[in-house]
Amino acid sequence: MDNMKVSREQQTQLPMTETSDFYNACSANDIPRIKSHLARMSLTEINRIEPNGSTALHAACYYENAAVVYLLLKYGASDSIPNRYGVTPYQETTNSFIKQLLLSNGNAAWIEWTFVDPPTRETKQIFDSTLENTFRVRGLPFILDYLLNQYARRHVAEALSPLDAQKVEQ
């Protein structure tokens, strides 16, 4: 397939000895080539089981290409398809970051946070950890009371006149 363009129909019917260009791009962490393919691929093609028995998501996980995993998940790649050995993409990787991406599939907020700058991400992780520990130790009533006193009342007081804030409080 040197320098030849392969149509989608041809790509899904490759001989049983070749993996697709898309799969190879995912293995090689070739983001521009992957984006080019994704722009014109159906979900069935994204989740195609290659002649070697794995999907492109398996390859990205195996080679620990986190950005590729993110892209594939964003485009709807299934993380539950087992390869010919019965191994899922999650089981294919040892990278904890990629495992977290796979566990958070569908949780766009978490996925987006993973790609912000490291200091901001670290601050969010500290906040999340503190909140989780506080919840575990002190319970939900403490957290709700804290949020009411530290945020809600303060912001209401800043936004309204003292008389209106008293009315809201009642």
Sketch the domain layout of the chain as residue ranges: 1-115, 116-170
Reported as a pLDDT band with limits 50, 70 and 90, residue 163 is confident
Q: How far apart are CA 31 and CA 68, in angstroms?
A: 7
Instruction: Between 157 and 49, name the one with better pLDDT.
Output: 49
In this predicted structure, the answer to whether residue 94 has a pLDDT above a threshold of 90 is yes
Q: Show Cβ contacts of residue 129 under 8 Å, excluding neighbours closer than 6 positions.
A: none
Per-residue burial over 29-53, b if 16 or more Cβ lie within 10 Å, else e, is bbeeebeebbeebeeebbbbebeee
Asked if 45 and 12 touch (Cβ cutoff 8 Å), the reply is: yes
Would you say the C-alpha torsion 64, 118, 125, 107 has a positive or negative sign? negative
What CATH class does 1-115 carry? mainly alpha
H-helix segments, 16-152: 21-28, 31-38, 43-46, 56-62, 66-74, 89-92, 96-103, 108-114, 118-138, 140-147
Taking the model in full, what pTM does it have? Answer: 0.56
Q: What is the pLDDT of residues 36-83, one digit of tens each?
A: 999 999 999 999 999 999 999 999 999 999 999 989 998 889 999 999
List of residues 6+ apart from 85 with CB closer than 8 A? 53
Q: CA–CA separation, 101 vs 13, rounded Å?
A: 30
